[in-house]
């Protein structure tokens, strides 16, 4: 790998401590021979804007921020067809994709050992005219990640998410259902769901959903979980046990693998893409772009 590095940093991430860490990160990268430039995001200048406007040649981007900042950078790289490798230091609240890739959680570990990282090609999801790298989801609790304020996340961490999530699940009868028609590579499903998740990550919402031997980040297939509304309390227990055991052979849950999806609702439905608001859509086309992005990750043993 060559030596030109761009750091895209969200100054609000990491409970606002990113600015404090950046000089030390740059110092450690320069010791390895990298040339480093730092650009900070702002309310009016996000990660996508930075990549769109960056004309100088670079070999890799390091994202210092949460899932949303990483999504912005990846969207811009894919849309502009730029051949740039990406890696990241997870400063977010949940950091689900970091768990999937086993990225180091210690702030300075990446900057100490980037020269020893390896490149892997990972699948990227297409969502109408947008992209996601680890999850597209609708329904129960999926809006918690973007509806929770930055102030609450900085103050309470994941507990802020749990607080908002509990408000949505107080009673079974109040949980909203979505009449849905889903066309996969192999079947057509018509049913009512309280949650739907299309993912390329073992972890979603800090919960591990899949077994390692059943999952791959570059097999060209999405893991899809669809949950029906529980009618009784025992159904809630069944759903919870299925998620904990990662076994989904029950009436309340569909577990599917597919490369393509067409999803239609009876009304416009809010979506979450990589933890950020993805828009309200009545019809969605989702496709797997196999091995579309180069990621720099710790070498596998």
Model pLDDT, residue 163: 44
Q: Is residue 301 part of a domain?
A: no
Model pLDDT, residue 160: 43
Q: Is residue 122 part of a domain?
A: no
pLDDT digits (tens, 9 = 90+) for 79-137: 998 889 999 988 866 778 888 888 877 777 787 788 888 999 999 999 999 999 999 99
pLDDT digits (tens, 9 = 90+) for 252-285: 999 999 999 999 999 999 999 998 899 999 999 9
Residues 158 and 44 both lie in one domain: no
Residues 107 and 34 both lie in one domain: yes
Residues 6+ apart with CB under 8 A from 47: 8, 10, 41, 63, 65, 69, 70, 71, 72, 73, 76
Tell me, what CATH number does 179's domain have?
A: 2.60.200.40
Contact yes or no for 61/85 (Cβ under 8 A): yes
pLDDT digits (tens, 9 = 90+) for 58-77: 889 999 988 889 999 999 99
Strand bridging mode 276-297 / 118-127: antiparallel
Q: What percent of the chain has pLDDT over 90?
A: 52
Residues 106 and 144 both lie in one domain: no
Q: Is residue 126 part of a domain?
A: no
Residues 91 and 209 both lie in one domain: no
The structural domain count of the chain equals 2
Tell me, what CATH number does 22's domain have?
A: 3.40.50.10330
Residues 280 and 165 both lie in one domain: yes
3-state helix, strand, coil in the chain (%, to 5): 30, 40, 30
Q: Flag whether pLDDT at 170 surpasses 60.
A: no
What is the span of the domain harbouring residue 44?
A: 4-116
Residues 145 and 282 both lie in one domain: yes
pTM: 0.86
């Amino acid at each position: 790998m060559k030596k030109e590095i761009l750091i895209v940093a969200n100054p609000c991430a990491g409970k606002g401590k990113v600015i404090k860490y950046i000089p030390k990160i740059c110092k450690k990268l320069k010791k390895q021979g990298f040339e480093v430039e730092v650009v900070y995001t702002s309310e009016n200048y996000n990660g996508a804007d930075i990549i769109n406007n960056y004309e100088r040649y670079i070999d890799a981007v390091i994202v210092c921020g949460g899932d949303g900042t990483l999504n912005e950078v990846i969207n811009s790289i894919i849309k502009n067809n730029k051949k740039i490798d990406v890696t990241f230091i997870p400063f977010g609240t949940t950091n689900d994709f970091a768990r999937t890739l086993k990225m180091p959680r210690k702030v300075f570990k990446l900057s100490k050992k980037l020269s020893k990282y390896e490149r892997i090609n990972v699948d990227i999801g297409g969502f109408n005219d947008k992209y996601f790298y680890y999850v597209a989801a609708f329904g129960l609790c999926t809006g918690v990640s973007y509806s929770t304020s930055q102030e609450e996340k900085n103050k309470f961490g994941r507990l802020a998410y749990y607080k908002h999530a509990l408000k949505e699940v107080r009673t079974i009868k109040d949980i909203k259902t979505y009449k849905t028609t889903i066309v996969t590579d192999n079947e057509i499903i018509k049913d009512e769901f309280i949650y739907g998740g299309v993912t390329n990550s073992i972890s979603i919402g800090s919960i591990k959903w899949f077994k390692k031997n059943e999952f791959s980040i570059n097999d060209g297939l999405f893991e899809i979980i669809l949950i029906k509304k529980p009618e009784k309390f025992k159904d809630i227990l069944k759903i919870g046990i299925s998620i904990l055991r990662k076994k989904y052979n029950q009436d309340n849950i569909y577990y599917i693998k597919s490369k393509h999806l067409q999803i239609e609702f009876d009304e416009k439905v809010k979506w979450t893409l990589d933890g950020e608001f993805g828009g309200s859509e009545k019809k969605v086309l989702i496709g797997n772009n196999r091995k579309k992005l180069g990621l720099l990750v710790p070498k596998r043993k």
